Amino acid sequence: MRTIFALAGVVIKELYRRKDFYVLFILTIVICVIMASVNIFNDNQIVRYLKELCLLLIWVSSLVIAITTTARQIPAEREQRTLLPLLAKPLTRTQLILGKFLGCWLACGLVLICFYAFFGALAASREHAWPLLSYFQAAILHWMALGVVIAMTLLGSLVFAAPSSNSTICFVVVATILCVGRYLDAVALSLHEPLRSVIYAIYYAIPHVEIPFEMRNLIVHDWPLIGWKFIGLDILYLLAYMAIFLVAACLVFRRKPVN
Instruction: Pick from 1, 34, 38, 132 the residue near other proteins by CB under 8 A.
Output: 38
Distance CA 39, CA 112 (A): 29
Q: Does residue 230 bind other proteins (CB under 8 A)?
A: yes
Instruction: Pick from 2, 34, 37, 41 the residue near other proteins by CB under 8 A.
Output: 41
- Nearest-approach distance from CB 42 to other proteins, in angstroms: 6
Query: 53: helix, coil or strand?
Result: helix
- Nearest-approach distance from CB 138 to other proteins, in angstroms: 10
Per CB under 8 A, the segment of 5-13, 78-86, 103-111, 207-215 that binds other proteins is 207-215
Closer residue to other proteins, CB minimum distance, 93 or 182: 182
- Nearest-approach distance from CB 60 to other proteins, in angstroms: 19
Q: How many residues bind other proteins (CB under 8 A)?
A: 36
- Over 154-202, what HEC string results? HHHHHHCCCHHHHHHHHHHHHHHHHHHHHHHHHHHHCCCCCHHHHHHHH
- Nearest-approach distance from CB 52 to other proteins, in angstroms: 9
C-alpha dihedral (77, 82, 88, 92), degrees to nearest 10: -10
Closer residue to other proteins, CB minimum distance, 175 or 186: 186
Of residues 104, 138, 130, the one with CA closest to residue 10: 104
- Nearest-approach distance from CB 81 to other proteins, in angstroms: 45
Residue 19 — φ and ψ, nearest 5°?
Answer: -100, 0
- Nearest-approach distance from CB 92 to other proteins, in angstroms: 36
- x/- letters, 177..206, toward other proteins (CB under 8 A): -----xx-xxx-x-------------xx--
6-9 long-range Cβ contacts below 8 angstroms, 24+ apart: 6/99, 7/91, 7/95, 7/96, 7/99, 7/100, 7/102, 7/103, 8/99, 8/100, 8/102, 8/103, 8/106, 9/103
- Residues in contact with other proteins by CB under 8 A are 38, 40-43, 45-49, 182-183, 185-187, 189, 203-204, 208, 210-212, 214-215, 217-218, 220-224, 226-227, 230, 233-234
